[in-house]
A and B are shown apart, each in its own frame.
Chain A
């Protein structure tokens, strides 16, 4: 079989084998996927997993793609596996919720070519709407779970996972967390070994999942669980380190193992790399050699419950927090408590200084600022939001988003608010905000539900031509593929029309043109029935964005009204404040401003609310010229 692989633009010559490279966990997984001879790798961007496929796209000899959502990425990987090709997909924890429909049946068909699913949990929630423990999927779907503790292990376990998948015909879950994905460490890499697919074999009993076929295959899942328990018991990925101080023994996997070793270098540890099914004999051996057992797991009380159910006494979440990241600083006092020792109070010098928060902000010239500035000026609306940079519209100064749940939820939530509201909300207008990438991920179905069920919702579709929050990845509407090559470009206005929105209710506006934007929203929310306003401007962090001439504030003209500050641009700064008594007797604080012309890219959003025309273009001679690009 000689399938033609896609031509990759500028594939890097990958570093040679036995190189010692400083790689993030994501980069290490990507290297291992490439070395394993994988032919198909798919993902939708999601922090902290995004860089796996981004790195893979730079390797030759495989098809890497941005899929429209995680479920599709898993289906693409499964299809490739059906041909005997090695296949891979990667996602963040909430992405696996989306893909789980495929996962729960894919486990029954099993894998043919090695099939590995990388899932990255955002423990501590640096960039997610919730904190989930993806280890549960191993139990739920009856598939093995591997948990690396650093980049080198991420590399090695990924390679191991493909062999395991093929030998036992099972998808394998590679469970990562932020502290694996985004930690760089040294990795010794190896050679790529090509893997030729054996070919698709028609086998409806295996690949056509109807009840009769599924019934014959499901018992094999339970047998597979038992077989894999034996494999896990014998696996060198599960290591019992005997230690010398036997007062407390530890069970740990992933980053938690490193914290245990850092805090208690002399203690016995059962390090679980092959963490599901876990090895009962090794667990008993550990329990027998130490006085007490502490299960150190981030987030959920999962292993602890299972170990107790196996009749082994242990501690865990009675001593340790149930959310957030662990660290030696958390573990040491917990073990002191377990041993009945007095826990010394933390040193005052180690207490953080209390200062202002610095939440993430929209960038200078971000087109979303125009949207939220406008929404903040409109009364009597309920605004449902979604997942992306534009979730920041819930923050200061706009406070213009009322809900955020999950990818695409804005549509269904808006429709539900519309249909569920009683007399008290009767006069409110319902607005649903969604980004272009999120719309294509999971918003289209929700919009169809709005049109089909005659919802009274005005949708703001923020088309910035990229997946912004994860760093600017291509989408089906950006006209580029994962390599930056030209790709078919979907027309969002046509999609919206095809989903049942009347042509005259589809408006395309420029979010930098505040008066037009304001009028369009005001007009559309007054009309019953669904409308879609597509606000189109590129994200300022992608190549499509071309900066304009920056602005400055003419000091003598600024009256300190502060209107421009309400736009929320990080390039606007207050130079001084003055308290004045108005003729009405009311005291007001004036805020006089300037503009950081290194940061300003001249969108002009702040110019529009400035009553005294104090904001003017920087004279051409003063525009900063960068001679060195770093």
Chain B
């Protein structure tokens, strides 16, 4: 009954981290590949340090813009606890790609709630396929923390039902007017993101995307 050709990608994080921009670039790549695309998120108050999720669905024809729990092929988590919060959206063979960032909100600092000790460990213990990496350290090593978003896009690049080059081309297009130096920095960040995930999965780019699994 469900539409089997639809790819569901859930990007999650915290207001201000760049979740919506990253999803926008993923959407552009899917369009470039000729897919019908819908992308939705809850904005508004979300920019004040709250939870942000961006739903991206693409395929032959997308109807409902919202992703249902248990149907996500790839979860791109910009923050550990947020990836855990949304992990029930993954389908059983889905893959979570998670930035190790730990952003602790004031309600935890005030001692009202606890931050989970090991969010990705908890996901693995629940049987999820998880790759975690430190996108911000990778970005910092490249000389600019703001490259973190491109590292994240590099991380997902080999797990989409189209070539990583399509996604890279969309990133390059976005930064083209900022000059070759910025474009090159983003190329490096993209490559570093791909490598960070490939290293752990022990896979190469021929690793089948969950979307085709």
Contact = CB atoms under 8 A, between A and B. Distances in A.
Interface of A: 20, 22, 47-48, 124, 126-127, 150, 178-179, 182-186, 255, 258-259, 261-265, 325, 327-329, 347, 349-353, 355-363, 389, 392, 396-397, 469-471, 541, 565, 568-570, 572-574, 577, 589, 591, 593, 598, 624, 626-630
Contacts of B104: 573-574
A345 B93 CA distance: 21
Most A Cβ at <10 Å: residue of B14, B44, B112 = B44
Given A126-B42, A349-B92, A356 B108 contact: yes
Given A182-B40, A349-B92, 7 more contacts: A185-B38, A255-B64, A258-B65, A351-B88, A356-B81, A356-B113, A358-B105
A568 B39 contact: no
In the A-B complex, the 6 residue pairs with the smallest Cβ-Cβ separation, listed nearest first, are: A127-B44, A356-B113, A360-B48, A47-B44, A360-B50, A361-B49
Given A47-B43, A358-B50, A352 B88 contact: yes
A626 B145 CA distance: 8
Given A179-B40, A565-B109, A628-B182, A359 B50 contact: yes
Given A355-B81, A627-B143, A328 B48 contact: no
A609 B87 CA distance: 40
B23 to A, nearest CB: 9
The majority secondary structure among interface residues of chain A is loop
13 contacts: A185-B65, A264-B1, A327-B66, A350-B69, A353-B84, A356-B105, A358-B107, A359-B105, A360-B46, A469-B45, A568-B106, A572-B106, A630-B175
A510 B66 CA distance: 44
Interface stretch (B114-122, B156-164, B192-200, B202-210): B114-122
A381 to B, nearest CB: 22
A350 B106 contact: no
The majority secondary structure among interface residues of chain B is mixed
B70 A570 contact: no
A628 B70 contact: no
Given A184-B37, A628-B146, A329 B69 contact: yes
A331 to B, nearest CB: 10
A222 B14 CA distance: 51
B163 to A, nearest CB: 20
Contact of A362 (B31, B37, B48): B48
Most A Cβ at <10 Å: residue of B37, B105, B119, B146 = B105
A396 B43 contact: no
Nearest to A51: B43
B144 A627 contact: yes
Nearest to B31: A22
B84 A357 contact: no
B110 interface: yes
A48 B44 contact: yes
A396 B64 contact: no
B27 interface: yes
A182 B43 contact: yes
B41 interface: yes
B153 to A, nearest CB: 11
